A and B are shown apart, each in its own frame.
Chain A
Amino acid sequence: MIYLDHAAATPVSSKVFEAMKPYFSDEFFNPSAAYLPAKKVASEYEAAKGVIAHAIGAKASDLIMTAGATEANNLAFSAALFGDCLYLATEHDSVRKVADRHYSKEIIVDKNGRLVLDDLKAKMTDNVGLISIALVNNELGTIQPLSEVAAYIREVRADRLARGILQPLYLHSDASQALNLLNVNVARLGVDLLTLNAAKVYGPKGVGALYVSHNIKLLPIFVGGGQERGLRSGTENVPGVIGFAKAVEEAEKHKNGNRKKYAKWKKILLSQLQGYELINKKHSLDNFIVLCYIGIDAERLVFLLEDRGVCVSTGAACAANKGLRSHVLAAIGLSDSEINGSLRLTLGETNDESQIHEAARLINEVVAIERGRNA
């Protein structure tokens, strides 16, 4: 099988799996328990959080561990309980749907999927309490200039203070797709809240984290035993967090090498594939390759490729399943027929160079089949 959908899910790497194993059985203790074996697990759990936090330039106590990125995004929006929200038009539904519970507006993007800062400025009011912009878009791999937004937010805050307006303003970013290839540092990015996701970095599914900078008050979604500083009750997912930490460690180690590797593979694909138009031309991670085959129904390509052992996606996986067109591709100005013809390949650790050559050959083959059928 040639798996080219690493933005949808990544397999748990063997190192991560090995690191997690003891915590399912031998080290199963509840970290809150009083006896020594449990205290040992508690300290290993905190150390694991420290590893994850360190990777983004934060401390363990800044992280609230969650059951995935969706929960972290939901929790982040509680920072603006009574404020309005702005979010990028290309955000994931886990941001869009929770933003819709507030008075909220979309910030438009340009044809490369990058935020339009002037639009953000035009939509800024004194009631805005939270701005949410994913560091890397999950369909296009577009990297957003967050530090520019953060600089603007500092101006707004200063201006609000000067005018005696008390509404705080926070910047949230979903960095689920970023850790594999980007150096993520919360101070340098200027974010107040940052979502992380183990499932996209060869860690376990259902494990995520929200970085929360000091002095931000959140309203917990789950209440109970008061774990995670009272912001996320529920017995700690020890194996999950241990696995997440190992995955982050591995990502850090291989980041530079992987960047080069994916850039090379992208080049191979783009030179060997035929009859496509590249959609994410600029400002995008090298392991995201979004192609458009005009006049072809890309979903048919997905099924034909599935038959040949190649897993790819059209737009975002969930959009494909619900028969809805991708809001991300619509936001960058693609027409319906361009959206229908869009195929997303996301490269990753399960691939090798020979697979990339084989994938290019098979994609060309199924495109030819569909073109022939339409002729």
Chain B
Amino acid sequence: MPKKVFVGMSGGVDSSVSALLLKQQGYDVTGVYMKNWSKDLPGMKCPWAEDLADAKRVAVKLGIDFEVWDFEKEYFEKVVEYMLREFKAGNTPNPDIMCNQEIKFKLFYEKAMERGADFIATGHYARVKEGCSQSPQLLKAVDSKKDQTYFLYRISEEALLHTIFPVGGMLKPDVKKLAEENGLHNAYKKESMGVCFVGEVGMKDFLKEYIDISPGEIREVETERKVGHHEGAVFYTIGQRHGLYISGNAGEVNIGLPYYVVKKDLAKNIVYVSRNLNNKHVWTKQLELKDVVLRNKKIDNLTVRLRHLGELIPATLEGDVIYFEQSIKKPAAGQSAVFYDGEICLGGGIIA
């Protein structure tokens, strides 16, 4: 009996090639389109139906079974509401990490197992190493430019043990080539990036639909001087320097330094900015984390990534705090710090 795999298919090239590879490797493959979001937003038509048709077309071409699993309700509760809650609290959450934790590697995994699956598979760029005596390890993808472990660090050991990442050992250009060679029509299709439904309208317009916002002041942190207005404090991320509506006064413009968001006072609805890159709000040598996930006891001589494909920074973990050898530019609360030991993704936590 061939092993049974349910592969998440989005209509994109990576998951299409994943299904192809599993089929070629002799698995009993069922393609599944996870319907997580279908609502149109102002100025943007949700492409879910086209994505579904693309995914199904590939499945039919490969001659595999295909199903649609509807997680819309759960996605809203577990991912969207989490995201809105975090934004309202002044944080900058990463919904993709939550989607992987709660939907793809939880609900999808559980339903697949109920259906008699041996494995689930997705088109993510990552690898799994099974140890005989130890827990499974999440490894960086072979294609370092595509590595997606930053988004996957929170998935459970149990799910990891039953997950195949068929393209994790490949280079993206080879994946595309394979798609073309096998006549998978979407070889040229644009890649979906990030939270698909937010992609085109932008997070700001999405948030406007769901969060009541009120305009307020932008102040310089050192002087409490008003330097402009904002549309709503939730839209601003610590470290941001674009999209600030600041009217510089004559004589100061020539200083030539941009303003950075360094602090938000949500109670007073004030966004604080600074031009001083040495400001204490900008730099830190430690980060406090919450909801830390660790698949390995190793906690010293780590490297830490603060954003997808970001620089790997040497650090040490003590309890829920990571200490850096050198000062780093402070990331926004709600983002994730992900730990690595060489190519192993050990886990991570959410910046408090």
Chain A residues close to B by CB (< 8 Å):
299-300, 303-304, 306-307, 320-323, 369, 373
Contact B60 A321 (CB under 8 A): no
Majority-rule SS of A interface residues: helix
Contact B56 A303 (CB under 8 A): yes
Q: Which residue of B lies closest to A321 (CB)?
A: B49
Query: Quick one: which of B43-78 are within 8 Å of A by CB?
Result: 49-50, 52-53, 56-57, 60-61, 63, 66, 68
Across the interface, B60 reaches (CB within 8 A) one of A300, A320, A322, A323, namely: A300
Q: Which residue of B lies closest to A318 (CB)?
A: B49
Q: How near does chain A come to B31, taking the closest CB pair, in angstroms? A: 12
Contact B49 A373 (CB under 8 A): no
Distance of A322 Cα from B35 Cα, bound (Å): 12
Contact A321 B56 (CB under 8 A): no
Contact A323 B68 (CB under 8 A): yes
Q: List 17 interface pairs A-B (beta carbons < 8 Å), by A numbering.
A: A299-B56, A299-B60, A300-B56, A300-B66, A303-B56, A303-B60, A303-B61, A304-B60, A306-B57, A321-B50, A321-B53, A322-B49, A323-B49, A323-B52, A323-B68, A369-B63, A373-B63
Q: Which residue of B lies closest to A373 (CB)?
A: B63
Q: Which residue of B lies closest to A300 (CB)?
A: B60
Which residues from chain B contact A320 at a C-beta distance below 8 Å? 53
Across the interface, A307 reaches (CB within 8 A) one of B56, B61, B66, namely: B61
Distance of A321 Cα from B46 Cα, bound (Å): 12
Residue picked from B49, B52, B56, B60, most chain A C-beta under 10 Å: B60
Distance of A373 Cα from B59 Cα, bound (Å): 13
Distance of A323 Cα from B61 Cα, bound (Å): 19
Which residues from chain A contact B50 at a C-beta distance below 8 Å? 321
Which residues from chain B contact A300 at a C-beta distance below 8 Å? 56, 60, 66
Q: How near does chain B come to A127, taking the closest CB pair, in angstroms? A: 33
Given the interface contacts A323-B68, A373-B63, does A303 sit within 8 Å of B57 by beta carbon?
yes
Distance of A142 Cα from B66 Cα, bound (Å): 33
Which residues from chain A contact B53 at a C-beta distance below 8 Å? 320-321
Distance of A322 Cα from B63 Cα, bound (Å): 23
Distance of A303 Cα from B54 Cα, bound (Å): 10
Q: How near does chain A come to B185, taking the closest CB pair, in angstroms? A: 9
Q: How near does chain B come to A28, taking the closest CB pair, in angstroms? A: 33
Q: How near does chain B come to A60, taking the closest CB pair, in angstroms? A: 38
Distance of A369 Cα from B63 Cα, bound (Å): 9
Q: How near does chain A come to B29, taking the closest CB pair, in angstroms? A: 12
Distance of A321 Cα from B56 Cα, bound (Å): 11
Distance of A241 Cα from B56 Cα, bound (Å): 39
Distance of A322 Cα from B68 Cα, bound (Å): 13
Distance of A94 Cα from B67 Cα, bound (Å): 30
Which residues from chain B contact A323 at a C-beta distance below 8 Å? 49, 52, 68
Distance of A307 Cα from B220 Cα, bound (Å): 62
Q: Which residue of B lies closest to A304 (CB)?
A: B60
Which residues from chain B contact A299 at a C-beta distance below 8 Å? 56, 60
Q: How near does chain B come to A366, taking the closest CB pair, in angstroms? A: 10
Residue picked from A299, A323, A369, most chain B C-beta under 10 Å: A323
Which residues from chain B contact A306 at a C-beta distance below 8 Å? 57
